[in-house]
Amino acid sequence: MRVEYITEILKGEEIVRIEPVKKGCSGDEKYCVETRGGQRMLVRISDMEEFERKKAEQGMMEKLYNYCGLTSEPLGFGVCASGAVVHNGFLKDVGYKRVYALSEWMEGEDAEAAMVKMNDAERYELGIKVGEMLRRIHEMPAPNDAEVWSDRFWRKVRERIDFYNENKLGYDSGDVIVRHLQDKRHLMNGRPQTFNHGDVNVQNIMILTNGEVRIIDFNSYNNGYGDPWWELDAPIWGTEPSTDYYNGLLKGYFGGEVPQGFFEVYAYYFAYDALAAICETAQGNMGEAEDGKRHVSMVLGWFDRFRNYVPGWYRG
């Protein structure tokens, strides 16, 4: 536990409790810290090599908080240094520096954990809340000089296809996905861009004790902007999410019926995610290889191997 860092970050505050936070996929060290005055904060500590990225993440959080308050309040960002450390049995002052980000602690639980205890109707209602939250977030515009989305996204697709081909990953299901991505590339033409979180999965949705929802963890951001519809495709690889939640998400986001042309674009983004799962599995980045296979099978099943663009679970 990095008590020495936390003590430096919160100089002048009397700390009564430091509790490690284990959830999340990032390499950050995270702690819930409580002061004598009763204030609770989340402290994230990262290596100095992550400085620019963490600065960008904190900047995204600040933009979103200042715009609509749908994330935790940023409280501080900077560099801290540990004092004395033990090296080869001797005490040595190396002043080892780390990056820290400080934010408000939100009381509640993430949607992944909460959904386990919910019935189908409750998952649907949660999806509506999250969809409404995303619609509000996507009212934030992208920068005026944002790169054209079709160029930017195709570069991502092209990298995955090249890896797939160069590493001879070809098999029937993967070939179906690659063909679909190539044949439907035109669907990205003219797509609008807004502020994007970058990883809207149920691990990053917080349900507060009062029932409100917030979004957390900006460590998978994609430059902070992109096609808002891409954020509606946000499963966790290897875990089949509740289709009641997904139905509610679309209902809440669109406030009723989905617009014409939505499902073709939606299917295209799921195809990209399925190809990404194949590539990440081959690189050993998926945790369990079965997670990637399960995700690909799930996507192909939902869209009938891309013979149908409306997922089989959609109730309309």
- What is the DSSP code string of 93-116? E---EEEEEEEEPPPEEEHHHHHT
Of residues 219 and 18, the one with the higher pLDDT is: 18
* Sheet strands side by side (includes 29-35): 15-20, 29-35, 40-47, 97-104, 74-81
pLDDT exceeds cutoff 80 at 82: no
> When comparing pLDDT for 94 and 25, which is higher?
25
Q: What is the mean pLDDT of residues 249-254?
A: 96
Which domains are assigned to the chain? 3-104 (3.30.200.20), 110-306 (3.90.1200.10)
Q: Give Cα 113 to chain centroid, integer Å.
A: 16
pLDDT tens profile 83-99: 444 445 554 445 568 88
Burial code (b: 16+ CB inside 10 Å, e: under 16) for 171-189 equals eeebebbbebbeebeebbe
Which pLDDT band holds residue 151 (cuts at 50, 70, 90)? very high
pLDDT for 234 beyond 80: no
More confident residue, 104 or 295: 104
Residue 9: the pLDDT is: 78
3-state DSSP assignment of residue 31: strand
Q: What is the DSSP letter of 220?
A: T
Task: Determine the pLDDT at residue 199.
Answer: 86
Q: How many CA atoms lie within 13 A of 241 on its CB side?
A: 26
Residues 6+ apart with CB under 8 A from 95: 81, 82, 83
Decide: 30 and 21 in contact? Cβ < 8 Å: yes
